[in-house]
Amino acid sequence: MEAPIYHITTAAEAEAARKSGVYEPPSFNLDGFIHCSYRHQLGGVAARWFPGRHGLVVLEIDRGKLPCAVLDENLQGGSERFPHIYGRLPLTAVVAVHQFPMALS
């Protein structure tokens, strides 16, 4: 089994996805994929993209349950690779929704 991947979003967007069964962030139409992280990357991603934000949750995703491609890549330079989901996220692939910030053990 592959390591889970994670996506930080608002609680409101997660709730809308729960009702529809599919998650699609506002950036999906522009980027064509969903930005994700591995567990060890969450702290850096949160500090860079979500400083001081409230009302956030972390979606824990089983990439083996995704019907679309997941590519580990770095699109901004550097050597660290991040998982990107190239499709909409069915909620059947979300194994947990964690409060943000989540305990990183």
pTM, 2 dp: 0.91
| Rounded CA separation 50/103 (Å) | 16
The amino acid at 38: Y
Does CATH place domain 5-99 in 3.90.550.10? no
Q: Is the pLDDT of residue 20 over 80?
A: yes
Helix, coil or strand: residue 20: helix
Q: Is the pLDDT of residue 105 over 50?
A: no
| 30-67 pLDDT per residue, tens | 999 999 999 999 999 999 989 988 889 999 999 999 99
| 55-104 pLDDT per residue, tens | 899 999 999 999 999 999 998 777 899 999 999 999 999 999 999 876 55
